[in-house]
Amino acid sequence: MSDTIAIIGDRFMLPSMFADRIAAACGNGVKIRSLEQPWPDQPMEHGYADYPLERLKEFMGDPDEVAAFIGDAAMLVTHLAPVSRAMLERLPNLKFIAVSFIAVSRGGPVNIDMQAARDHSVLVVNTPGRNASAVAEFTIGAILAETRLIRAGHEAMRVGEWRGDLYRADRTGRELGEMTVGVIGYGAIGSRVVKLLKAFGCRLLVADPYVQISAQDRSDGIEHVALDALLDRADVITLHARVTPETTGFIGREALARTRKGAIFINTARGPMVDYDALYEALASGQLGGAMLDTFAVEPVPPDWPLLRLPNVTLTPHIAGASVHTVTIAADQAAEEVRRFLAGEPPLNPC
């Protein structure tokens, strides 16, 4: 069996970063070959609506080209490269995959066929929480951009309009300390968002049926509530759940109709959890006062997408998790998993 490590990175998770960290962790004697994919300059494939590659939900790269590059390597370290059942049939030497991609379902990384990996005795590890700090910080910025009218003021000035009316008592923004913020999903990112929001003194609601809040959270006044209660009470709703069959489209007409009139909606998680037709209607009607969206069901979004024309929406191109620190954390975690595999030690983060 070859002891070669195949690295497939891209222009965010640089192959050289992986290679340098692996060499530092394992010694310069390891055999490494690297491939750089063109993401994010070119979009990845999305398989939420249909499945272009054996039920893989997000990935980058032609499977034949990826399989040919991996070749006889025993180990793969990747960000977005797909690994399907058909590919594994062609890769009998492959025994280990380290994935740094942030999109993970309850079944494992969405660019890997986990059942096929188990059937072929391939160990898959990931780098959990690598972007939790980046997304949490971005979320706080997104909330403030909406609640303090930063977007509205900026867009007006860009076209030469001085919005002095934004200082009027009936139009000006609100401070977080007087608001209730509802956090949907209380994993690595949602819990970090709550930690940061505590400093603002806002009332905090958490909806996640799979977790229990800590005694410290309860002492700090955080309430663990059902989703409907959160939607009923929150002035700001921020989404941090994972895409699963039960969460796909769950922010739809019924959920949005429950929200408080004028509430703000933030999505830095994943697009398929939101019914965008329903979201458009809620924003256009004023049921929602505004929204900040970083992720979408289809990426890139179509140029004629209706939400692009609404004045009460801030849109960014799926960049909440992008930071230099994220790259460093992921590379270090992947390198440690490679070292442990080569040393015969148990993995830290098996999928």
Question: Which position among 120, 224, 299, 340 bears the catalytic label?
Answer: 299
| Separation in Å, CA 246 to CA 188, 211, 306 | 20, 16, 26
Please write down the HEC assignment for all residues of 110-166.
CCECHHHHHHCCCEEEECCCCCHHHHHHHHHHHHHHHHCCHHHHHHHHHCCCCCHHH
Stated as kind and residue range, the H or E segment containing 293 is: strand 288-293
Q: Which residues contact 159 (CB under 8 A, 6 or more apart)?
A: none
Answer whether 10's CB lies under 8 Å from 80's CB. Answer: yes
d(CA 5, CA 97): 10
Question: Which position among 146, 192, 318, 337 bears the catalytic label?
Answer: 318
Q: Is 46 noted as a catalytic residue in this protein?
A: no
d(CA 81, CA 124): 13
Q: Is 309 noted as a catalytic residue in this protein?
A: no
Q: Return phi, psi of residue 162, to 5°.
A: -95, 105
Question: Which position among 270, 325, 336, 345 bears the catalytic label?
Answer: 270
Fill in the DSSP letter of residue 47.
-
d(CA 178, CA 283): 23
Q: Is 299 noted as a catalytic residue in this protein?
A: yes
Answer whether 108's CB lies under 8 Å from 310's CB. Answer: no
Catalytic residues: 270, 299, 318
